[in-house]
Amino acid sequence: MMFLTDTHTHLDFPQFKSDRERVIERATTAGVRVIVDIGTDLASSQAAVALAEAYPQIYAAVGVHPHDAKTLTREMLEELTALAGHPRVVAIGEIGLDFYRDLSPRDKQRQAFQQQLALASEAGKPVVIHDRDAHAEVMATLRRWVEGSHKPSAISYKPVGVLHCFSGDLAMAQEAIELGFYISIAGPVTFKNARCLRELVRQLPLEKLLVETDCPYLAPHPHRGKRNEPAYVKLVAQEVARIKGLSLEEVARITSGNAQALFALKF
Ligand code: NI
């Protein structure tokens, strides 16, 4: 029996407005048993929670994306803090830094990132990290956060988060794993030019990997350029399985177990 987990979706986005129900059905048919829908601003976080209330297989993460960091007010932070306590909310995210598109001023991105890391510590929830062209600063910030408030001890190791749609190198991935993070692999691993990412997957332990779609973005081959959806997480897992020389079922089972541990999912 196939048990896939799509650890990063934006099913609440308008791209799914007309056929969300069918998209979710197709995911179930493809063996996707768990979906984590990720907030990008307050409205999207609220919509993610509503989806998680409506569907037993959907869980929510709440947070403000670095693109939207400039919208984060104190009142909004309070609302996010309240949402973080909802029983279907399994993480704070997506949060982080995006120095590629720079849609919010960098200082505002840094402030929103810090504020939401503090929120995660307070709520006792893991974090979903977005990092684009900000590797060194994201890692330094996460190291300070982990060492300051989430220190994993040798006795009670606790996973602290995930680097979503990972785009760094092997050294960065290993540093993140050492800090207690999982590395999430998305559609680009199926792209023709993804030699480095495939090599990274080959070198990292499957016990530290998650799979995701980041739908509606980043559709894997052969759907590249079209709208992505959770059913296609199977194509990502298939590519990971090929690289690792394992069966799709085994990769699905192990990465789902990883997601279950990270997000403290109870079935
Ligand atoms: Ni995303």
CATH hierarchy code of domain 4-263: 3.20.20.140
pLDDT at 89 over 70: yes
Model pLDDT, residue 158: 64
- Cβ proximity of 91 and 52 under 8 Å: no
Q: How far is ligand 1, taken at its centre, from the CA of residue 55, in Å? A: 20
Q: How far is ligand 1, taken at its centre, from the CA of residue 130, in Å? A: 7
What is the distance between the alpha carbons of residues 76 and 241, in angstroms, rounded to a whole number? 41
Question: Which is higher by pLDDT, 50 or 146?
Answer: 50
Global pTM value: 0.95
pLDDT at 66 over 60: yes
Q: How far is ligand 1, taken at its centre, from the CA of residue 152, in Å? A: 26
pLDDT at 209 over 50: yes
Q: What does the pLDDT look like over 215-267, one tens digit per residue?
A: 999 999 999 999 999 999 999 999 999 999 999 999 999 999 999 999 999 76
Q: How far is ligand 1, taken at its centre, from the CA of residue 224, in Å? A: 16
What average pLDDT does this structure show over 60-76? 97
What average pLDDT does this structure show over 32-41? 98
What average pLDDT does this structure show over 126-149? 94
Summary mean pLDDT of the chain: 95
All structural domains of the chain with their residue ranges: 4-263
Q: How far is ligand 1, taken at its centre, from the CA of residue 9, in Å? A: 7
Instruction: Give the whole-number percent of the chain exceeding pLDDT 90.
Output: 93
Rg (CA), the chain: 17
For residue 105, how far is the Cα from the chain centroid? 23
Model pLDDT, residue 267: 67
What average pLDDT does this structure show over 174-188? 96
Model pLDDT, residue 147: 86
What is the distance between the alpha carbons of residues 31 and 69, in angstroms, rounded to a whole number? 35
Query: Is the peptide bond preceding residue 216 cis, with omega within 30 degrees of 0?
Result: yes
What average pLDDT does this structure show over 147-167? 72
Q: How far is ligand 1, taken at its centre, from the CA of residue 154, in Å? A: 32
**What residues flank ion ligand 1 with Cβ within 5 A?**
214
Model pLDDT, residue 156: 42
